[in-house]
Amino acid sequence: MPRPMTWSDKERRRFINDGVLIRRGLVHGTVLSQARTLVGGWLTEAYDPARLTAYTERSFAPELEQHPDLLALYQRSGLAELAGDLLRPARPAPVTRAQIQVRLPYGAQQLVKAMHVDGVSCPHLESRDLRTFTFIVGVVLDGSATADAGALHYVSGGHHRMADYFATDWVLGQASQTPDDIAAQDGAALTAEPGDVIVMHHLVPHRVGINTSSTPRVMVYFRVSHAQHSDLAFRALSDPWLEYPALAALARPGTV
């Protein structure tokens, strides 16, 4: 029987400290190729340049968000097991939708987002909407593994700063998404290639860089939520390990 998909203690401690993990080459074979073909076909045949801003703010190929070939990236690659392992003994809610994000080659006049955390004070949401989750997983479908090719940039350890910000200097409905010291940072680039998987704590501030390569950078994201996230969401903004029972003990001072 295949080994169960789990995170090592070293990886768990890295997630506590940095808020980000990468599992190289996790998605491969037919699962990867079918998803790449599906999204590549959409970009060739259905992409509407007039909707570029809406795509960038929400999702490219929104009509494909529940397509079996995209959901297979999560359900048939081991990602679902890894997601469950990160939350154990709590359980994740079912993941039923994908988000497709594409950074087009330089010259497409694509919106560049500032440092932010998803679902809080987003420009395309009502100011008092809270559309958060527990963590996000991203699968690289296409693109160069270089920092200037549309890679995700993140503030390592920024989830600790954001939790403090949400606890002390933020109220629901305000326009600013991050404190000034976070907004001013460029962040470190997550350089990854097709088949690599990125896991990022919801509170890690991030942005996406300009793609100066000749190849679109294509990512498929899945938002993973604790099964009781709707009840925990507001408290989780200031308590980064509220939804991670096993990690909460490791994150106590003196244990990491």
Dihedral sign of CA atoms 69, 73, 77, 82 in order: negative
Note the pLDDT tens digit of each residue in 6-31: 999 999 999 999 999 999 999 999 99
Give the mean pLDDT of 155-164: 97
Strands 152-154 and 188-189: antiparallel
pLDDT of residue 1: 35
pLDDT of residue 254: 58
pLDDT of residue 109: 73
pLDDT of residue 145: 85
Residue 253 has pLDDT above 70, yes or no: no
Note the pLDDT tens digit of each residue in 179-188: 999 999 999 9
Note the pLDDT tens digit of each residue in 120-140: 866 555 556 678 999 999 999
pLDDT of residue 4: 60
* Encoded amino acid at 1, one letter: M
Note the pLDDT tens digit of each residue in 88-113: 999 999 999 999 999 999 766 787 77
**Architecture of the 11-248 domain:** Sandwich (2.60)
Residue 205 has pLDDT above 70, yes or no: yes
pLDDT of residue 126: 53
Please tell me whether the peptide bond between 89 and the residue prior to it is cis, using omega within 30 degrees of 0: yes
Residue 141 has pLDDT above 60, yes or no: yes
Residues shown for the chain: 256
pLDDT bin (cut points 50, 70, 90) of residue 177 is confident
Where do the domains of the chain lie? 11-248
Residue 148's CB: how many other CB atoms inside 10 A?
14
Residue 200 has pLDDT above 60, yes or no: yes
Share of the chain above pLDDT 70, in %: 93
Residue 70's CB: how many other CB atoms inside 10 A?
24
pLDDT of residue 249: 84
pLDDT of residue 68: 98
Dihedral sign of CA atoms 107, 111, 114, 115 in order: negative
Give the chain's mean pLDDT.
91
Q: Which residues contact 233 (CB under 8 A, 6 or more apart)?
A: 130, 132
> Per-residue b/e over 196-205, b at no fewer than 16 CB within 10 Å?
bbbbbbbbbb
Of the candidates 241, 160, 242, 167, the residue with the CA atom closest to the CA atom of residue 205: 160
